[in-house]
Amino acid sequence: MGKEFKTISHTDDLGIVVYGKNLKELFESAAFGMFSLIAKPVKYSKMKFMSVTVTANNTEDLLIAYLNELQHYYSVRKILLRSSKIMFLSENKVSAKITGEEISKHVILNDIKSARYHDLKIVKTRAGYKTEIIFEV
């Protein structure tokens, strides 16, 4: 999983700036960054393996929809993401294999409610791609 991100401050919410050599890596780094804000990755329990497929109107909306689907695993299914491998990515569809574990023995750092659409833009840079994502806490 990609780990190219840095945290930023944003009023009462949390944010990350995410980087990737390509869009797949950007999506993987965004997922890792979001779950790094929720809890420190520590192995405590039995791994769970799942597949996720999400669709949206464009790449920016797709990234938010993907992160919010992963956040659903945290808030409803009580699973913390350990890894995310993008298997397919187009402008309006993403499929990934994810690995997670139950949150029962983890210390929750931030209770993220959702990734926000606010001013999200994926920018092509000389090194790849970059975006800034704000999370509602």
What does the pLDDT look like over 31-46, one tens digit per residue? 999 999 998 766 666 7
Q: Which CATH class, in words, describes the domain spanning 5-136?
A: alpha beta
pTM of the model: 0.91
Annotated domain spans of the chain: 5-136
Which helix H or strand E contains 24, and what residues bound it? helix 23-38
Query: 13 phi and psi, to 5 degrees?
Result: -105, 180
pLDDT score of 103? 84
The pLDDT of 49-65, averaged and rounded, is 96
Tell me what percent of the residues of the chain surpass a pLDDT of 70. 93
Q: How far is CA 47 from the centre of its chain?
A: 18
Is the pLDDT at 104 greater than 50? The verdict is yes
State yes or no: pLDDT of 2 exceeds 60.
no
Mean pLDDT value across residues 49-66: 97
